Structure 1
Amino acid sequence: MVTLVQQPCDGLAATRASVEAQAYPNLRHDIILRTDGAIRFPLIVADEGYDALLILQPGDLLAPDALAALGLQFLLSGADVVVGIRVVFDAGPLGLDAPAAPPGTLVDPAPPDGPLAPFTGGEALLKRSCVQAAGGLDPDAAHPVAALWPRLVRQGAVLARVGRPVLLHSAPGHAAPAMGSGLSVASLTDQGPLGGAGIAHRRLCDALALAGHTVSDHCLAAESPPAAAEWVERFPRTERTLSQGRYDLIVAGNLHGATRRTTILERLTRAVPVAAVLHDLFPVTGRCASPSGCPIIPEGCDARCPSPNAYPQLLPQRIASVYAEKQAILAEPDGPLLLAASAWTESAARALAPRETRVDRIDLAFPTGVFRPRSRAALRRELGLPADDVLVMFAAVIADAPSKGTAELTAILRRAVRPGLRFVVVGRLDDPDSLGIPDLIAAGPIGDEATLAAWYGACDLYVTASRQETFGQTPVEAGLCGTPTIAYRATGLATAVLNGVSGRLVPLEAGALEDALRALIADAPERQRLGALGRIALESRNSHAACAMRLNDVFVARGILPAAAGTGRIRFAPEMLSTFAMAQDRAPGRTGLIPSDASRVVRLARRTKHALVGRDMPPWLRRILYAVATLRRMLRPATRGEVR
């Protein structure tokens, strides 16, 4: 690390203190007079004892853990340049921004300047050998990294990013210009921000808003009850609002809680571009959300579907026509753009959708300032948990859902029981005793982010036996709290869990999950290592800012944003700072994520239903619920503008 100074030099003491506070073990910080730069710079760039360089100005400060974040991404990506977010400040924060270039080979030779402040390079970690190959640093340049940038482009340098603040850039006397107007975005979901998919969609839309876009929410359940989903496909009021609302983009989430068809997306694309986020694979199948292992889907969905009564249910005789309809919608030239949050989901969508379908990768957003490491001992006291036991957690909205691998996982946990080891389950669980796990700690459904983060942070390990995830939000939430995950190397979990960094991924082999669990239960130092690295890596990849930057890449590539939005810098609203753990005033966690725990009567009714007809919903029961919902809707007073 180099700080170029002139005499006298204001701000150098603060810069030096911020570097020392990194506590980075393999670091040398050189303070160089500009008059000595011509001699010192070539020696530094040629020194093969160092892997990377970072150039600071006096008065600039490194954000907490900046070097750890940049260095970890440097190692994981192998990139020549790793950049992060810059916070420009005077007496207080003036704004946040970051280079807008997408990851990959640099193309634009212009240094990534922006309206907040000139590019000085303090947010860029540079591979020393690449700098040397590009001709070194110019000590006479006002900003040596900016002067180097065109030569990095000619050198074919590869860029990587971290989506968290790394540089606090001092701009005394600077007035921040107003942010430009972004896209006008409509968010469309079936039932709003409830459940796993609803939570993920709301966080993604929050990221768009913090990047300067205007987002409005629209929920199909406000127009038609979920019980009618199998028989309803038109939503006149919502469709009229969206088609005539002068939106630049509609971002659709899960819709199958309100309709089993995707024709609404086809109608909307005639007026507004539509991007559909693949929280599951419903848009590309006949009816199901997770077709992994389905024997008929390679040939196309039809009445042979092995699970027509599983949610989202559809009568077998309708499956073939709905499947053909969905495929035709995706094949249209202006059909919906599909957004996938994992490598597996992207691959599955490309395999299941028509060849013409547009599919892009994105990263989901998480409130990294809420899901953050805290004192494990203090959290256990707060929650009334045993102080010294090893606590292993598993969780889901419906904790005992068969699709989460509950039967396999509980069998593993029962075999692992021993003194000093306890298991914690979070989520809806009507009968905890049915799992047969001695001394199980059942937290129930948790509807607010701060409390959920406390439970993650109080536990030592998180484990899942699921094999059907388009991503896997719970391992990321756990990892952000410093709790590593053990999971199968399967579906979206292979992206959600960074193997060897935020947890352990194991092959789909008998005994592999149990062996990994037992090994980490016995290895406290390895748990601590994974917890520390996982927090850093996941904050860099899954912050609101990281999500917004990845979406910016997609929108520019697809022409939703102009090409200029992919050059220079991407700017964030000042409120973006409050989403990070380093902020003095952190944004509070959201509440109302999932329905609160049901009454004893409702739990008993669910257990009775499961005992009589199983977890699936047979057609006769669906028709009864539809009739009841229709009758209730007819009897209540009509709202203004409602079409019945």
Structure 2
Amino acid sequence: MSHGPIQSQDDHGIADWPGALGPRPPLPDTLPDGRPWPQIVVVILPGAGESDDAATLASVAAQAYPRLRHVLCRDASQAGKALGIACTDSNTDFLLWIAAGDLLAPSALAALCLEAVLTGAGAVAGLRVLFDRGVHGLDVLGNPAAPLSEAGGRSGCGDILVSRKAMLRLALTETNPPPSSAVLWQSLAAADIRLSRIGRPVLLRRDPAGETAVAGLSVVSLTDLGYGGGAGIAHRRLAEALDLAGHRITHVRLADESPPAAAEWTDAFPRTESAILAGRHDLVLAGNLHGATRVGGVIERLAAEVPTALALHDLFALTGRCAHPKDCAVIATGCNARCPTPTEYPQLDPARIAAAHAGKRRLLTGSAAPLLLANSDWTEARARALAPDRTTIAPVQLAFPTGVFRPRDRAALRRQLGLPETDILVLFAAVIADAPDKGFDDLVATMARVARPGIGFVAVGRLDDPSVFGLANLHAPGPIGDEEILAQWYAACDVYLTASRLETLGQTPIEAGLCGTPTVAYRATGLTSAVIDGVTGLLVDPRTGTLAEGLEALIADAPRRRRLGAFARIVLESRFSHAAAAISLHEAFAGWAGIPSVAPRARLTFRPAMLDRFAFAKDRHAGATGLVAAPSRPIVRTLRRAKQAVFGRGMPLWMRRALYAATLLRRSASRRTVSR
């Protein structure tokens, strides 16, 4: 048995390893609260030979974790003794034991440890990558109460980091041989030790046999206009997560049958509904429907035939017409004609609002009520406050392509994008950058307060009049429809800023954080889940001037920006990957009586392509395109500004009716042309 600190090694010696070690950004010197990083002891169990030992040691060395010791064991008795010694050493904080030949994924220890520190968990598990001349699957520990036959019994717990306190509580210090992951996971749960999982790979195992994938569901991903815009992007990524978890996805848009201009007057989609029902699907995952219909009839009819889940990208499913009720006093007694914002999108004739609200409540209290999926703690709490009693609501994590949104060489990016290399750059982004709901007036005031030489600003998204900022050093690339290009802009900047006070989650702060760019935001709504105060950015109280104060604090402190950016990358990759989303969706479905075919499993399995969504994968996914609409022509921007000057952001009922009539005339003319 040999032990000691890990010395730096560059190569694990595995030719077909499905990743690349590459350079890793250094960890901050301390934890976010200033405490030292915990001491980790890695016990390496006996393998087939010295080559196995060398490969495992190299993967441990590549962790570059600051307080790390390893123990290399030659037989099972040494392994038990090593665990016992580590557990009696008060300097030990966490342990992990790994079979020689298994490899730790890049930065696995930092990710596992940081999650344990932030959550107080006694044990944290991550994904295993199973490979042999190519990746043939990924998996993660699931429900510890599920039958262990699904999990296998091979020794080595390289996918679980366990606290010394938990080990002492289990009295496993002299176990000979040490238990497998599944047995340990079950024992930890039985001892009421808090468990947590991260949605990123931590262990790579050569396994010729592989795991048997569980047959997936046939799922319809149902939206109004498809996958453009913020909510559309979020829904697409949820569908991707389900696909990578082994389910079969059929993509359906209501707008293929009825145009957006008809949304206020359309409830039935006969062709679409018939096609869905004819497909004999297991589940409908619906979300972001108000661009095609303002009421819930289509969901009520589908849910009566097919189990249906509604993703709460906003709160439209719980109101008479609006996506965000804000501080509306009417909703407390039921939405009706007294709605204060009937001309704001999604607009609805006041005379129809009460019936729309009643229909949604009937849907949520019916025998085939849909499952509501809440994407943040705030969204879940707000949904429970607005929904009828006994509505089933489950939390889920949204998915982000963490291999696309990743830290990069900032100086090289600035040269590539034509940005000043020495300025401190502040970025803000939205599909419609000047939308009032994004706090645009507040944003303008905040920018003006911090503006000075050496501070630059970047505005990503539709911005009809950049001159409103009055900033000479404003860079406005406009709407960006490609994830890869968008990620470059995030990674090129120093701070991300949002003035929004109304988000069910807040996707842009997460995308920025994955790129190593910390956020300044208000401590409000779903942003409190998207930004972890003091870890991935700064949250400030929603009062006048506080946003500028938080921004000034980061502008003046480059080391703090770097620390927050480094922590943001680690934490957000662990919590918002496609794998994390798939795990949360499985738990939501397994806990819902509406779809009994989904049962808890000891291990959740994923397609090999799941690995491609992570930055260290050898064959990394390139990201999606078509995120947002192409930039408007100058004449369209001029007309839009004129309309806003006369009518504001709202749209009167007569104007909506005129657009609807024009749409019907165009469709009629088109049909006559085709029939000739």
TM-score interval for Structure 1 and Structure 2 normalised by the shorter chain:
over 0.9
Number of the residue aligned with 1:477: 511
- Which residue of 128, 142, 147 corresponds with 1:100? 142
Displacement of 1:140: 2.7
Q: State the AA in 2 paired with 1:4.
A: L
Displacement of 1:169: 1.1
Number of the residue aligned with 1:265: 299
Number of the residue aligned with 2:194: 158
Number of the residue aligned with 1:223: 257
Name which of structure 1's ranges 425-434 and 37-46 shifts more when overlaid on structure 2. 37-46
Displacement of 1:632: 1.0
Matched, 1:13 2:54: yes
Number of the residue aligned with 2:387: 353
Q: How does 1:42-191 map to 2 (within 5 A)?
A: 42-101=84-143, 107=145, 113-114=150-151, 118=154, 120-141=156-177, 143=179, 148-171=184-207, 174-176=208-210, 179-191=213-225
Number of the residue aligned with 1:364: 398
Note if contact 1:111-1:149 (Cα within 8 Å) is conserved in structure 2. no
Note if contact 1:288-1:311 (Cα within 8 Å) is conserved in structure 2. yes
Q: State the AA in 1 paired with 2:221.
A: S
Seen in structure 2, the aligned counterparts of structure 1 residues 427 and 150 have a Cα distance that, compared at 3 Å, is closer
Seen in structure 2, the aligned counterparts of structure 1 residues 318 and 30 have a Cα distance that, compared at 3 Å, is same
Cα separation, 1, equivalents of 2:70 and 2:401? 33
SS of residue matched to 2:671: coil
Q: State the AA in 1 paired with 2:592.
A: R
Note if contact 1:112-1:569 (Cα within 8 Å) is conserved in structure 2. no
Name which of structure 1's ranges 91-100 and 491-500 shifts more when overlaid on structure 2. 91-100
Cα separation, 1, equivalents of 2:47 and 2:616? 31
Displacement of 1:107: 4.1
Displacement of 1:119: 6.1
SS of residue matched to 2:427: strand
Q: State the AA in 2 paired with 1:30.
A: V
Seen in structure 2, the aligned counterparts of structure 1 residues 561 and 99 have a Cα distance that, compared at 3 Å, is farther
Displacement of 1:179: 2.8
Displacement of 1:331: 1.3
Note if contact 1:345-1:470 (Cα within 8 Å) is conserved in structure 2. yes
Q: State the AA in 2 paired with 1:335.
A: A
Number of the residue aligned with 1:4: 45
Q: State the AA in 2 paired with 1:411.
A: A
Displacement of 1:111: 5.0
Q: State the AA in 2 paired with 1:626.
A: Y
Displacement of 1:437: 2.7
- Which residue of 363, 381, 385 corresponds with 1:329? 363
Displacement of 1:77: 1.2
Number of the residue aligned with 1:545: 579
- Which residue of 486, 492, 513 corresponds with 2:520? 486
Question: Any idea what the Cα deviations from partners look like across 1:597-627, whole Å, max 9, x if unmatched?
Answer: 0111111111111112111111111011000
Cα separation, 2, equivalents of 1:9 and 1:112? 31
Cα separation, 1, equivalents of 2:214 and 2:601? 15
Displacement of 1:270: 1.2
Displacement of 1:33: 2.4
Seen in structure 2, the aligned counterparts of structure 1 residues 602 and 81 have a Cα distance that, compared at 3 Å, is same
Seen in structure 2, the aligned counterparts of structure 1 residues 30 and 233 have a Cα distance that, compared at 3 Å, is same
Number of the residue aligned with 2:638: 604
- Which residue of 56, 60, 67 corresponds with 1:26? 67
Q: State the AA in 1 paired with 2:337.
A: A
Seen in structure 2, the aligned counterparts of structure 1 residues 37 and 469 have a Cα distance that, compared at 3 Å, is closer
Cα separation, 2, equivalents of 1:441 and 1:565? 51
SS of residue matched to 1:530: helix
Identity of aligned residues (%): 52
Note if contact 2:218-2:249 (Cα within 8 Å) is conserved in structure 1. yes
The size of the alignment, in residue pairs, is 633
Name which of structure 1's ranges 193-202 and 605-614 shifts more when overlaid on structure 2. 605-614
Note if contact 1:190-1:257 (Cα within 8 Å) is conserved in structure 2. yes
Cα separation, 1, equivalents of 2:131 and 2:107? 19
Q: State the AA in 1 paired with 2:219.
A: V
Seen in structure 2, the aligned counterparts of structure 1 residues 39 and 591 have a Cα distance that, compared at 3 Å, is closer
Displacement of 1:453: 0.3
Number of the residue aligned with 1:398: 432
Q: Which runs of 5 or more structure 2 residues have no equivalent in the other structure?
A: 1-41
Note if contact 1:225-1:258 (Cα within 8 Å) is conserved in structure 2. yes
SS of residue matched to 1:466: coil
Cα separation, 2, equivalents of 1:8 and 1:474? 48
SS of residue matched to 1:513: helix
Number of the residue aligned with 2:671: 637
Note if contact 1:53-1:125 (Cα within 8 Å) is conserved in structure 2. yes
TM-score, with length taken from structure 1: 0.95
Seen in structure 2, the aligned counterparts of structure 1 residues 638 and 522 have a Cα distance that, compared at 3 Å, is farther
Question: Any idea what the Cα deviations from partners look like across 1:99-138, whole Å, max 9, x if unmatched?
Answer: 112xxxx545x658537x8463110001111111111244
Q: State the AA in 2 paired with 1:554.
A: A
Note if contact 1:497-1:504 (Cα within 8 Å) is conserved in structure 2. yes
- Which residue of 339, 349, 358 corresponds with 1:305? 339
Cα separation, 1, equivalents of 2:108 and 2:57? 14
Cα separation, 1, equivalents of 2:309 and 2:485? 32
Cα separation, 2, equivalents of 1:268 and 1:461? 44
Cα separation, 2, equivalents of 1:166 and 1:43? 25
Cα separation, 2, equivalents of 1:333 and 1:512? 47
Cα separation, 2, equivalents of 1:113 and 1:470? 36
Cα separation, 1, equivalents of 2:189 and 2:227? 42
Name which of structure 1's ranges 155-164 and 2-11 shifts more when overlaid on structure 2. 2-11
Cα separation, 2, equivalents of 1:633 and 1:406? 37
Displacement of 1:242: 1.3
Cα separation, 2, equivalents of 1:175 and 1:144? 17
Cα separation, 2, equivalents of 1:638 and 1:46? 84
Question: Any idea what the Cα deviations from partners look like across 1:168-214, whole Å, max 9, x if unmatched?
Answer: 1123xx13366332010001110000111111000000000000000
Q: How does 1:381-396 map to 2 (within 5 A)?
A: 381-396=415-430
Seen in structure 2, the aligned counterparts of structure 1 residues 139 and 237 have a Cα distance that, compared at 3 Å, is same
Number of the residue aligned with 2:32: none
Seen in structure 2, the aligned counterparts of structure 1 residues 560 and 72 have a Cα distance that, compared at 3 Å, is farther
Cα separation, 2, equivalents of 1:149 and 1:296? 49
Cα separation, 1, equivalents of 2:593 and 2:562? 44
Q: How does 1:167-566 map to 2 (within 5 A)?
A: 167-171=203-207, 174-176=208-210, 179-559=213-593, 565-566=599-600
Displacement of 1:155: 1.7
SS of residue matched to 2:64: coil
Displacement of 1:139: 4.8
SS of residue matched to 2:317: helix
Note if contact 1:287-1:319 (Cα within 8 Å) is conserved in structure 2. yes
Q: State the AA in 1 paired with 2:222.
A: L
Name which of structure 1's ranges 245-254 and 505-514 shifts more when overlaid on structure 2. 505-514
Seen in structure 2, the aligned counterparts of structure 1 residues 390 and 246 have a Cα distance that, compared at 3 Å, is same
Cα separation, 2, equivalents of 1:393 and 1:619? 37
Q: State the AA in 1 paired with 2:199.
A: G
Note if contact 1:99-1:112 (Cα within 8 Å) is conserved in structure 2. no
Displacement of 1:92: 2.5
Q: State the AA in 1 paired with 2:377.
A: A
